[in-house]
Amino acid sequence: MLALVSPALLVILALIVLPVGWLAWQSIYHDGFTVENYRRVFTEDIYWRSFALTFEISLAVTVIALLLGYPVAYLANSVPKGWSILILSLVVLPFWTSVLVRAYAWLALLQRTGVINQFLRYLDVISEPLALVHNTFGTVVATVHILLPFMVLPLYATMQKIPGDLMQAGASLGASPSLTFFRVFLPLSLPGVLAGCTMVFVLCLGFYITPELLGGGRTVMVSMLVSRNVELYNQFGAASAVAVVLLLSVLAIFFVVSRFISLDRVLGQK
């Protein structure tokens, strides 16, 4: 049996375990052991500002995705099967479109001469085009769009398991629909909320394409810090240290979340 897993395991060891191990080694060793790279990450302005910005954006994206995703998951859960299949198909449809293609679509929609600005000017709502992209706003709009399915799917899976008679029981005992929702349904859906939020937050921490293409160079997220240190400045040690700190943040989040819910629940969705 071990022989059967060995080709796959070898690929994983050579192409992800070894490279990540290499990064970790490179971050502490350069002609002798050094903590210089980590000192820079934790003391120099551009590094910790970028980490702070990345956590802020990830938090904003997670909250927005939850606020947008919860009603959709709730609706998909409460309508007849045919409708819920339709709703869920619309949710996963963009999921299978390349991230790059969607970044391009958002550029087309949001730029100064883009669809939305032209439409608003046509309606005479605005006289000057709005700056919707090449800033943090554009990054957040496109990132939420890409990560929303990761929120809706675990939410829906959890809501599916909430027995419908519980709500009826609440209603028959005289509780108003909103009271049954807040006292019965919402608490029971919390594991799904946690699973969805974890996935969205963690994926957002490492996001690269949307901030790079839609951030206009000002929204420097951690992933861009890594790539710039490699491609522009040849600062391999610094890039590695940033990558290690990012990876440790992700693992720490998974560890904390696994205390509350099974990680299968978080990773269960593709």
Partner 1 sequence: MTRISPARIALYLISALVLLYLILPVLIIAPISFSSARFLTFPPPSFSTRWYQQYFSNPAWMQATRVTLTVALFTVVIAAPCGVAAAYAISQSKLRIMRLIHMALLLPLVVPIIITAVGIFFVYAKVGLVATMPGLVLANVMLGLPYVVISVLAGLQSFDPAQEMVARSLGMNRLRSFFAVTLPQIKSSVIAGSIFAFISAMDETIVALFISGGQYQPLTKRMFTALRDEIDPTIAAISTLMTAASFLLVLAASTRQKKAG
Q: Hey, which residues between 211 and 270 contact partner 1 (CB under 8 A)? A: 212-213, 223, 226-227, 230, 236, 239-240, 243, 246-247, 250, 254, 267, 270
Distances (CA, A) of 152 to 16, 106, 141: 29, 21, 17
Instruction: Report 104-133 residues binding partner 1 (CB under 8 A).
Output: 104-109, 111, 113-115, 118
Instruction: Report 130-159 residues binding partner 1 (CB under 8 A).
Output: 145, 148
Among 100, 169, 252, 256, binds partner 1 (CB under 8 A): 100
Cβ nearer to partner 1, comparing 55 with 236: 236
DSSP bridge partners of 29:
33
Residue window 184-213: x/- pattern of binding to partner 1, with contact defined by CB under 8 A? ------------------xx-xx-xx--xx
Instruction: Report 37-96 residues binding partner 1 (CB under 8 A).
Output: 68-69, 71-72, 74-75, 87, 90-91, 93-94, 96
Question: In the 8-state DSSP scheme, what is residue 29?
Answer: B
* 43-60 residues labelled b (16+ CB within 10 A) or e (exposed): eeeebeebbebbbebbeb
Residue 249 C-beta: closest distance to partner 1, Å: 9
Cα(70)–Cα(193) distance, integer angstroms: 8
* 196-216 residues labelled b (16+ CB within 10 A) or e (exposed): bbbbbbbbbbbbebbbbbbbe
Residue 22 C-beta: closest distance to partner 1, Å: 5
13: CB partners within 8 A, 6+ apart: none
